[in-house]
Amino acid sequence: MKNYQLAEYEERFFNQLSNITEKNNLINPELFNKYNVKRGLRDKDGKGVLVGLTEIGEVHGYIIDENETIAVPGRLIYRGIDITDITDGFFKDDRFGFEETCYLLLFGDLPDQDTLMSFERLLSEYRKLPEDFVRDMILKAPSKDMMNVLARSVLALYSFDDNADDTSIKNVLRQCIRLIACFPLLGVYGYQAYSHYHGNNSLFIHSPMPEYSTAENILHMLRPDSKFTNLEAKLLDLALVLHAEHGGGNNSSFITHVATSSGTDTYSVIAAALGSLKGPKHGGANIKVIQMFEDMKQNIRNLDDDEEIEHYLVKLISKEAFDRQGLIYGMGHAVYSVSDPRTLIIKEHAARLAKEKGLEDEYNLYLKVEKMAPEIIGKSRNTFKGVCSNVDFYSGFVYKMLDIPVELFTPIFAISRIAGWSAHRIEEIVNSGKIIRPAYKSVSKRREYVSMDGR
């Protein structure tokens, strides 16, 4: 078949087959009610079905009073300690907080000075990729998607580990700490390769500095001149701390539990979690938020006109604008409805940075959308609870102000969340849970097999 004929055949084949596929896979929505299916593992009122216990992170968004669910301002608690106290703690001492947070999540307690120093030394020892890994695995096949680079690099690291399938706690801990240390290199070098081969820019591969924190190393490896200010590094560090953990029920941490429960290796589990985080309803939302605001700025003639902004948001919801998915990105959360505590923290810094960078107009646009969106979503969707902005409403804006390229927004989330995934993998192994295996009811009608000549 000639190439153009093949292309025509393919187009017709897949058009036809995708219509058939959609028709034959659609399940009557009423059946979900009939069989009382907890879609998305949610109760009817939107609350998550209780499927596990954890001591790592607590996501608190409501209280139950006399059987009534009452939404309250959100709180996020790492190993029993409120995230606001954690961030206040290291800000007050003018310290970096991410390494200490990793220690807390992994081991359950805050480290004292000596313990933290030893842990940081270990991380910096581990912040090395196997010989020729950058040349053979990262530079050879650059991808436009750094989450893809992270996932395949993690899977490739399996082959460099002589003890890859050993699921003893000691070995898994070693693997996890190595991954926590190496994620910034994988993400940033992946971006440098992409920027060079696809963007025609000069190629920079800066080796990490042993004395730098994770946040400092990201900026050092990313910027051609390796320069950054203390304020920039501290803000990035804060973002890393805020994204490090979010209970066992968020999509990527739950996947960590599910995959771990099958007994598989650390690299397979983390690759699965990365795939989940990439989704635009989860960690990928930080990229979507920035793109959505760019689209908004291009399509709204007068950004001071609230009616025009409202009109655009309504079009978003009705799938007539931007990516036509019907979502206002950065808004809404499965647990929080009054407020996401991480947003409150990051928003304060976004305001300060926007002022410094002369981007107050853009910040004000964010404020307006954040204020208008809940009502617009509430009017058109079946919301049992209110809708508030989530952490990623402002995180992309902060990264943009830190001159971090958009391709690295979700990878930065992953560089941070690997700490939470690691803690959840270890918790699942220590408690040697059953293999996670919920039920699916089949609703297809039984029928006879028809032999070829009878079809």
Ligand X SMILES: O=C([O-])CC(=O)C(=O)O
Ligand Y SMILES: CC(=O)SCCNC(=O)CCNC(=O)[C@H](O)C(C)(C)COP(=O)(O)OP(=O)(O)OC[C@H]1O[C@@H](n2cnc3c(N)ncnc32)[C@H](O)[C@@H]1OP(=O)(O)O
Residues of the shown chain interacting with ligand X in the complex, contacts defined by CB under 6 A: 59, 246, 250, 333-335, 390
Per CB under 6 A, 331 contacts ligand Y:
yes
Is 333 labeled as catalytic in the residue annotation? yes
CB atoms within 10 A of CB 342: 27
| Residues forming beta bridges with residue 70, ordered by sequence position | 63
Is 392 labeled as catalytic in the residue annotation? yes
Q: Choose, from 392, 403, 424, 453, the residue flagged as catalytic.
A: 392
Q: Angle at the Cα of 59 (from 58 to 63), degrees rounded to 5?
A: 105
DSSP string, 134-203: IIIIIISS--S-HHHHHHHHHHHHHTT-TTTT---HHHHHHHHHHHHHHHHHHHHHHHHHHHHHTT-PPP
Determine the interface stretch with ligand Y among 20-28, 205-213, 259-267, 276-284 (rule: CB under 6 A): 276-284
Q: How many residues bind ligand Y (CB under 6 A)?
A: 24
Q: Please state, in angstroms and rounded to a whole number, the distance separating the CA atoms of residues 295 and 283.
A: 20
CA atoms within a 13 Å half-sphere pointing along the CA-CB vector of 140: 8
Q: Which is nearer to ligand X, 246 or 257 (CB)?
A: 246
State the nearest-atom distance from the C-beta of 143 to ligand Y, in Å.
22
State the nearest-atom distance from the C-beta of 42 to ligand Y, in Å.
7
State the nearest-atom distance from the C-beta of 282 to ligand Y, in Å.
4
* Residue 122, helix vs strand vs coil: helix
Closest CA to 389 of 431, 331, 450: 331
Query: For ligand Y, which residue of 381, 403, 431, 441 counts as binding (CB under 6 A)?
Result: 381
State the nearest-atom distance from the C-beta of 263 to ligand X, in Å.
25
State the nearest-atom distance from the C-beta of 147 to ligand X, in Å.
15
Residues 401 and 354: beta-carbon distance below 8 Å: yes
Determine the interface stretch with ligand Y among 27-35, 109-117, 158-166, 330-338 (rule: CB under 6 A): 330-338
329 interface partner picked from ligand Y, ligand X, none, CB below 5 to 8 A per type: ligand Y
Q: Which is nearer to ligand Y, 57 or 332 (CB)?
A: 332
266 interface partner picked from ligand X, ligand Y, none, CB below 5 to 8 A per type: none
- What single-letter DSSP state applies at residue 44? T
Query: For ligand Y, which residue of 151, 180, 285, 388 counts as binding (CB under 6 A)?
Result: 285
Residues 216 and 233: beta-carbon distance below 8 Å: yes
Query: For ligand Y, which residue of 234, 282, 347, 400 counts as binding (CB under 6 A)?
Result: 282
- The maximal CA–CA distance of the chain, rounded, in angstroms, is 79
Q: Which is nearer to ligand Y, 156 or 408 (CB)?
A: 408
Q: Choose, from 243, 257, 333, 424, the residue flagged as catalytic.
A: 333
Residues 306 and 219: beta-carbon distance below 8 Å: no
Find the length of the chain: 455
Q: How far from 122 is each of 61, 116, 220, CA to CA, in Å?
A: 36, 10, 19
Query: For ligand Y, which residue of 240, 334, 354, 414 counts as binding (CB under 6 A)?
Result: 334
Query: For ligand Y, which residue of 281, 315, 349, 352 counts as binding (CB under 6 A)?
Result: 281
Q: Please state, in angstroms and rounded to a whole number, the distance separating the CA atoms of residues 100 and 113.
A: 10
What residue is closest to ligand X based on CB? 250
* Residue 212, helix vs strand vs coil: coil
Q: Which is nearer to ligand Y, 325 or 431 (CB)?
A: 325
Closest CA to 190 of 151, 232, 240: 151
Q: Which is nearer to ligand X, 74 or 142 (CB)?
A: 74
State the nearest-atom distance from the C-beta of 413 to ligand Y, in Å.
7
Per CB under 6 A, 46 contacts ligand Y:
yes
- Name the amino acid, one letter, at 356: E
Query: For ligand Y, which residue of 382, 432, 442, 451 counts as binding (CB under 6 A)?
Result: 382
Active site residues: 333, 392
By CB under 6 A, name the binding residues for ligand Y.
Answer: 46, 281-283, 285, 317, 326-334, 377, 381-383, 385, 387, 390-392
